Amino acid sequence: MSTDPREDRVLTLDEVIPEGFDLLPPDAPLVAVVVSLTFPGMVGESHRIMRDFTRSAFDQLLESGARAVLIDSSAADPQAALAAEEADGVLFLGGGDVDGSLYELQGPIPKAYGVDRTADEFCIAMIHRTLEKDQPLLAICRGSQLLNVALGGTLVPDIVPSTLHQGQSGQPMFLDEWVTLAEGSKIHGILGRERVTVRSGHHQAVDRVATDLVVSAVADDGIVEGTEHPGKTWVVAVQWHPEDRDGSAEDRRAIIGALVEQAVLRRLQLARHAQTA
């Protein structure tokens, strides 16, 4: 029996990918889901959360009628990344903290968690390719932070106080949080209201917003909770976790469903272009 401690914190495909994708029609849109199946410290509660949230995202993609392929960012396999280039949309899920040196942070990060520099660099390269191809992109939590860092922004390394954003000592990690959505933003259009209750469990967030992004959501303490890229067809980033089943099922369907709708549109546009070429 192996004594490799990483084996205790590796998600398996059977745990996170439901049956049924093969029953979808071949012309159903394809969404590439980028998530790390392991990272330093992913044991116990963090392993359960990653398993449940990843499975929830795949379940919602299936319900929304999209095929899905998982790209394991912890493996950082360049060949696997090629699958995303053929996808109609890309979804970046949550996970560990982003390496501070990637946004020029000096010194250690308080409460640093799950840092994997190789996975970060892999994801940042994928984000650049996704933007270059103008694929619909939904970035959740860590994904939102990586999008900002990839485009030259920075992060708050440790939010103080963090009482609005994550459970404190002795409490569950995730809690309900109020955020305000910017009028005219894509996320406002998706959810149809200005004030929403979301599920949060983060100690980091977007700080200096990248030049190419605009703020689409803020917490009651001013922390950035969402950004979008107005220069691309559809790029939406949220700091919270719509895939948390303890949150609103209606909002989860709306947000992930909006990504699938955009993936369908892109697939149809490419098909029309191919017919007229």
**Closest-CA residue to 258 (of 274, 237, 239):** 237
**E-assigned strand segments in the chain:** 30-35, 67-72, 89-92, 137-140, 155-156, 175-181, 195-200, 205-206, 214-219, 224-228, 235-238
Of 141, 177, 203, 228, the catalytic one is 141
What is the C-alpha separation between 200 and 175, in angstroms, rounded?
6
Is residue 19 flagged as an active site residue? no
Take residue 56 and report the two structure tokens written for it: 């929830």
CA 148, distance to chain mean position in Å, is 12
Of 177, 225, 243, 261, the catalytic one is 243
What is the C-alpha separation between 174 and 189, in angstroms, rounded?
25
Is residue 243 flagged as an active site residue? yes
Measure Cα distances from 30 to 27, 42, 144, 235 in Å.
9, 28, 21, 17
Helical axes 117-132 vs 78-85, angle rounded to 10°: 30
**Closest-CA residue to 39 (of 78, 94, 90):** 94
What is the C-alpha separation between 184 and 107, in angstroms, rounded?
39
Of 188, 202, 229, 241, the catalytic one is 241
CB 215 within 8 A of CB 209: yes
Take residue 186 and report the two structure tokens written for it: 């894509």
Give the residue numbers annotated as catalytic, written as ranges. 141, 241, 243
